[in-house]
């Protein structure tokens, strides 16, 4: 009987030790896993933001309305790369060649007419600006980057980011284009401590923040700023 009692007491002690350990290490382990997962989600949101900003630059301020359009854009878009030789000197600027555009207009005119007197006059013989078109995929993103992965939330078990766009207008009637991309806590933190996720969502709601990570806003223009920045 005494032996049985000692075993029961031993089990109870071990259970209490485990409860104390878990109450201390549980939140610590959750926070560690949360940071690791959020780091991956943020990195992908930044990839999406880069794509949307380049899309906007070539589509009159508009953003891609869905991932199919955005991913195809990343795969196929060419970007201008300017190869530069020579810089404008203070003396050339004093003589009226105040911008690279003006210098190139003189050079282009000379190439069309065959008269290089102005080029020599302003010392632009070694001034060159050549534009090459390079793949956006190879220029903006690291080697091996897979555009198709942009739609998927890391640690989300196949879940996709929520991408939305909206067109607003200013008081003068000018169009204002907005976008946002979201990933909820419960999606990328799935499998971790449920109560900790509930606590995060509750805190976000009380402070009027989105319960997760997001870039952009459908309420106000912010050029894709993240809610963690």
Nearest to residue 226, comparing CAs of 210, 204, 208? 210
Higher pLDDT, 33 or 90: 33
Given a cut of 70, whether residue 12 has pLDDT beyond it is no
Given a cut of 60, whether residue 5 has pLDDT beyond it is no
Mean pLDDT of 166-175: 86
Question: In the chain, where does DSSP find H-type helix?
Answer: 2-58, 67-76, 90-94, 100-113, 117-121, 136-140, 185-188, 194-206
What residue spans define the domains of the chain? 32-76+142-216, 78-138
Model pTM? Answer: 0.76
pLDDT for position 41: 98
Given a cut of 90, whether residue 210 has pLDDT beyond it is yes
pLDDT for position 153: 98
The pLDDT > 90 percentage for the chain reads 57
- Give the C-alpha separation, 73 to 96, whole Å: 41
pLDDT for position 134: 83
Mean pLDDT of 148-164: 97
Q: What is the DSSP letter of 12?
A: H
Given a cut of 80, whether residue 14 has pLDDT beyond it is no
pLDDT for position 21: 45
Residues contacting residue 37 through CB under 8 Å, at least 6 positions apart: 154, 155, 188, 189
Given a cut of 90, whether residue 149 has pLDDT beyond it is yes
The pLDDT > 70 percentage for the chain reads 89
- Asked whether 12 and 30 are in contact (CB, 8 A), the reply is no
pLDDT for position 219: 92
Lowest average pLDDT, out of 17-31, 45-59, 172-186, 213-227, goes to: 17-31
């Amino acid at each position: 009987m005494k032996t049985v009692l000692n075993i029961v007491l031993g089990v109870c002690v071990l259970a209490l030790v485990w409860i104390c350990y878990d109450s201390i290490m549980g939140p610590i382990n959750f926070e560690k896993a949360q940071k690791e997962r959020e780091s991956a989600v943020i990195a992908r949101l930044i990839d999406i933001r880069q794509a949307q900003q380049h899309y906007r630059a070539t589509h009159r301020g508009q953003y891609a309305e869905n991932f199919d359009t955005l991913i195809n854009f990343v795969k196929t878009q060419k970007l201008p790369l300017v190869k530069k030789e020579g810089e404008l000197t203070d003396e050339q600027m004093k003589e009226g060649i105040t911008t690279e555009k003006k210098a190139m207009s003189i050079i282009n005119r000379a190439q069309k007419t065959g008269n290089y007197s102005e080029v020599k006059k302003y010392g632009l013989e070694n001034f060159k600006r050549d534009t090459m078109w390079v793949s956006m995929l190879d220029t903006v993103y690291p080697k091996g980057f897979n555009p198709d992965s942009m739609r998927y939330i890391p640690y989300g078990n196949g879940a996709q980011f929520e991408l939305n766009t909206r067109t607003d207008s200013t008081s003068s009637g000018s169009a204002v284009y907005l976008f946002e991309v979201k990933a909820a806590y419960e999606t990328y933190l799935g499998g971790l401590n449920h109560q900790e996720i509930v606590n995060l969502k509750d805190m976000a709601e009380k402070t009027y923040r989105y319960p997760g990570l997001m870039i952009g806003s459908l309420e106000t223009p912010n050029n894709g700023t993240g809610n963690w920045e």
